[in-house]
Amino acid sequence: MKKIYILLVCCMLLISTETVLAQYRNPLALPSKQQVLIDDTHAESQKLAKEYMNRRHASAFSVLKDLTVKQKMSIVRIEAERDKTLMQINDQIALEMDCLITLQSFNSEDQKLSDKTTYKISKLTIARQKAEALAKHKIRQLLTKKQRIIFDNIK
């Protein structure tokens, strides 16, 4: 009976060792601490993120039908300002992303520069979200109570 238990334990150790060694191309080499590069596997997610960032926002005109002329003029002005601001921020984000990809592709040992670029990208993303929220808030202030309820349901 003891022999069976010992044999089972040895088999389990052998299987677990084979599994761990199979995960590495060179079993004697330890995993490196290099950054993960953005490669072809991330291309689709990058494409979707760019489409999301560049998409046109739903206009209040598409849902709200009973707007006054003054409301329409104000909404057009606010949306034009918002689109201009978002376009500038999106361009800056695209430049920083290209810089980050370049840094990663050359396996730069300067981690601080890579971190600084990532920090800039996150700051720009926050600025983008603030610009969107500010425009939505300004439009919402122009609306009546009934219009606000409908406007709040826009995604």
Cα end-to-end span (Å), the chain: 66
Task: Tell me the mean pLDDT in the region 111-118.
Answer: 84
pLDDT at 63: 74
What is the predicted pLDDT for the residue at 27?
47
Confidence category of residue 10, pLDDT binned at 50, 70, 90 = confident
Residue 48 CA: distances (Å) to CA of 20, 52, 64, 80, 81: 35, 6, 29, 24, 25
Q: What is the pTM of this model?
A: 0.60
Q: What is the pLDDT of residues 23-35, one digit of tens each?
A: 655 545 555 555 5
Query: How would residue 14 be classed by pLDDT, with cut points 50, 70 and 90?
Result: confident
Top-confidence residue, 73 or 53: 73
> pLDDT tens across 36-63, in order?
555 555 666 666 666 666 666 667 777 7
Of the two residues 36 and 8, the one the predictor is more confident about is: 8
Angle (CA) 154 92 42, round 5°:
75
Q: Distance (Å, rounded) from C-alpha 3 to C-alpha 14?
A: 16
Encode 134-150: b = buried (16+ Cβ within 10 Å), e = exposed: ebbebbeebbeeebeee
Q: What is the dihedral of CA 93, 95, 96, 97, to 10 degrees?
A: 80
Name the residue among 55, 58, 90, 87 with its Cα closest to residue 75: 58
Distance CA 148, CA 60 (A): 10
What percentage of residues in the chain have a pLDDT greater than 90? 25
